[in-house]
Each structure stands twice: as structure tokens, then as C-alpha cells.
């Protein structure tokens, strides 16, 4: 399995690709809530669906329940921990 930094970079690139964002991976903080206004990403529920599909497509991780998604995938850190645990 890849190291923590490489996994987080891959997750950031996936979020950028799936949500068609115009930011660099280093502009996304590991611990910030991606859906909070302070993230500066302006993500919404459609983006959440895109991220959920990206996690399934790129990592084989399927999170069907929206509450579970919010708990496991609202930050890069949480997504990385979830992938490491799966």
C-alpha cells in the first residue's frame, strides 16, 4: 500500500478531477471539511455524489449512506483513514 502522503495526494487529485475544480492539490488542506465554506472549494451535494463515485471507481470503496459518507469522507484525512481501515 502507498504511504500516507501519496494516498492523500491521490485523494486530492481524485476530488479535483471528480468535482472539476480549478485548484492545485496543495490548496486542499488534509483536515478541513471539504464541504465547509472555509475550505474555499464551494462543494455541494452533487459534488458529494461525485466524490462518493470517485472513491468507488478509484479505490473500490463504496459508501451508500449519506450520513456514513459525511462521517467517513468529509476530509482528506478521514478518507485516507477509511481506506486504510478497509
**For the segment 58-82, what is each residue's pLDDT rounded down to a tens digit?**
999 999 888 999 899 999 999 999 9
Confidence band of 1 (pLDDT split at 50, 70, 90): low
Q: pLDDT (tens digit, 9 = 90+) per residue, 15-51?
A: 999 999 999 999 999 999 999 999 999 999 999 999 9
Residue 2 has pLDDT above 90, yes or no: no
Nearest-angstrom CA–CA distance, 54 and 60:
9
Domains, the chain, with CATH or none? 4-85 (1.10.1200.10)
Concatenated DSSP letters for the chain? ---HHHHHHHHHHHHHHHTT--S-GGGS-SSS-TTSGGGSS---HHHHHHHHHHHHHHH------HHHHHHHHSSHHHHHHHHHH-
pLDDT of residue 66: 87
Amino acid at each position: 500500500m502507498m504511504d500516507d502522503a501519496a494516498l492523500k495526494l491521490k485523494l486530492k487529485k481524485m476530488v479535483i478531477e471528480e468535482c472539476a475544480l480549478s485548484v492545485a492539490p496543495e490548496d486542499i488542506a488534509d483536515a478541513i471539511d471539504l464541504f465547509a465554506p472555509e475550505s474555499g472549494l464551494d462543494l455541494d451535494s452533487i459534488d458529494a455524489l461525485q466524490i462518493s463515485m470517485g472513491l468507488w471507481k478509484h479505490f473500490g470503496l463504496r459508501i451508500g449512506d449519506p450520513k456514513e459518507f459525511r462521517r467517513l469522507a468529509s476530509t482528506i484525512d478521514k478518507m485516507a483513514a477509511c481506506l486504510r481501515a478497509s
